[in-house]
Amino acid sequence: MDKNKFAVTPPMGWNSYDYYDTTVNEEQVKANALYMAEHLKEFGWEYIVIDIEWYGYDTGSQRDKHQYIPFWKVEMDEYSRLLPCVQKFPSAKDGKGFQPLAEFIHNLSLKFGIHIMRGIPRNAAHAHTKILGTDKTANEIADPSNICSWNPDMYGVRPEAEGAQAYYDSLFELYAQWGVDFVKCDDICRMDMPSAKKEIEMLYQAIQKCGRAIVLSLSPGPAKIEEAWHYETYANMWRITDDFWDQWELLLPMFERCELWQSHVQEGCFPDCDMLTLGRLGKGFGHEWQCNFTKEEQITMLTLWCIFRSPLMIGTDLTLLDDWTKGLLTNRDVLGLLSHSAGARQIQRSEKKVVWCSKDTKENAGYLAMFNLEEKESEVPIPWEAVSQYGIQKNPGKELWSGEMAELQKTDAITIPAHGAKLFKL
């Protein structure tokens, strides 16, 4: 299987983390899937992804002390494989795993994704649990000094141990049986532990063997630019930032990160700017809030993510979408850049302003994105000499957020609000 065909354009979907943290349950997942099928699917949104700790008991119950309760009960089969906790996912009972939920989602013509942590459960290693397809046991492939610095569930696997590949193979065999379409593997992208690089290869091999086109997403970032070839060769998307949230201080460095990774966006290979922090957020974190970005900052985020062609994963609970946010997430012209633009390139970047261009792949047109990083409305000059190399054909063009036609002259500068952006097709 050619993994680059699993995701020809950047994946678009919903992820449970930003709103639910570790607490999301089956009912909530279904509600989001139903909403997506009805209201968002036609705009390209298709993945429903359950994030971290679906296997854990009592998740969220010690939120004052722990995001991830250490040394706690997790659901696990006899082969050291984590299963959905039936407290949260009743349909998983009798060892059915995520199969029923995946089927529900597939019946809505959507795709189903899950999050996993790199490695093998600590509980399995201490209990010497079996591994499917080998006579080695969990303690023989687990590395006691290879841990995640922020989550206590797993031990990393010794890549050279007999049985290590068998373990990863057994995971994806199970996920293929369930009908999983997308796996976000965590504690692996940043390669905090040296084995991570080899474990990415093992994930790739396991997917190749499982016979199902499962998109592989790596987290958390920042990914290491000097390992770009490795990500491109073995994965479909990789996070280029640590967890992104709705703060300008986090949005600002995304311009530098996108500059860094711009030459690496290709079919089946997508540097990932992380979830869209829009709408209602944070309920599972214990203090639900409304997105802290100004409307202009939201437009800036989406403009950058779209012209760069990052995967897009919505972080809010979809059933709570307000009209403004829904409007952002259903702008066909803007979202269209994911599926029919290419060659995006930063033209200029200073502390005050940023300019990007790209080309449409379906018609003879180009895109021009202009960002004002200042705290006040500013005139951002168009660097025509560079922009014109993008084969700009249409003038007047269309500003895609407002939908208005814009007569841009060569000497023009564009007026942009504080922290805002304009995106022209021309």
**Window 91-130: residues binding a copy of itself (CB under 8 A):** 122-123, 125-126, 128
At closest approach, how far in Å is the CB of 203 from a copy of itself?
Answer: 18
Whichever of 142 and 334 has its CB closer to a copy of itself, that residue is 142
**Measured distance CA(108)–CA(391) in Å, rounded:** 40
Q: Toward a copy of itself, which CB reaches closer, 142 or 278? A: 142
For a copy of itself, the closer of residues 6 and 45 by Cβ is: 6
DSSP of 119-180: SEEHHHHHHT-B-TTSS-BHHHHEEEEEE-SS--SEEEE-TTSTTHHHHHHHHHHHHHHHT-
Q: Is there a contact between 219 and 273 (Cβ–Cβ < 8 Å)?
A: no
Least distance in Å: CB of 149 to a copy of itself?
5
Pick the binder of a copy of itself from 90, 133, 152, 381 (CB under 8 A): 152
For residue 28, the SS3 value is helix
Hey, which residues between 168 and 227 contact a copy of itself (CB under 8 A)?
225-226
CA distance 109 to 362: 26
- Among positions 255-294, residues that touch a copy of itself (CB under 8 A) are 259-260, 262-264
Nearest approach, Cβ of residue 153 and a copy of itself (Å) = 9
CA distance 30 to 388: 47
Q: How far is the CB of 263 from a copy of itself (least distance, A)?
A: 4
If binding is defined by CB under 8 A, does position 160 make contact with a copy of itself?
Answer: no
Which among 28, 202, 50, 23 is positioned nearest to 111, based on CA atoms? 50
Minimum distance between the CB of residue 372 and a copy of itself, rounded to whole angstroms?
20
Q: Extract the tokens encoding 192.
A: 């905090």
- Which range touches a copy of itself (CB under 8 A), out of 19-27, 141-149, 212-220, 305-313? 141-149
* Residue 288 neighbours by CB distance under 10 Å: 13
| Nearest to a copy of itself of 41, 126 (CB atom) | 126
| Binding mask of the shown chain, residues 56 to 75, with x at each position contacting a copy of itself by CB under 8 A | --------------xx----
User: Residue 52: what are its φ and ψ, rounded to 5°?
Assistant: -55, 145
Q: Is 190 helix (H, G, I), strand (E, B) or coil?
A: coil
| DSSP character at residue 351 | S
What residues numbered 373-412 form the site for a copy of itself, per CB under 8 A?
385, 389
Cα gap 333→24, rounded to integer Å: 32
* CA–CA separation, 231 and 217 (whole Å): 10
H or E segment to which residue 359 belongs: strand 353-360
Alpha carbon distance 426, 408 (integer Å): 9
For residue 322, the minimal CB distance to a copy of itself (Å) is 37
For a copy of itself, the binding residue among 160, 229, 351, 409 (CB under 8 A) is: 229
Nearer to a copy of itself, 225 or 413 (CB): 225
Report which residue type is found at 323: D
Min separation Cβ 293 and a copy of itself, Å: 26
What does residue 391 show for φ and ψ, rounded to 5 degrees? 65, 40
Binding site for a copy of itself (CB under 8 A): 2, 70-71, 122-123, 125-126, 128, 139, 142-145, 147-150, 152, 225-226, 228-229, 259-260, 262-264, 346, 349, 385, 389
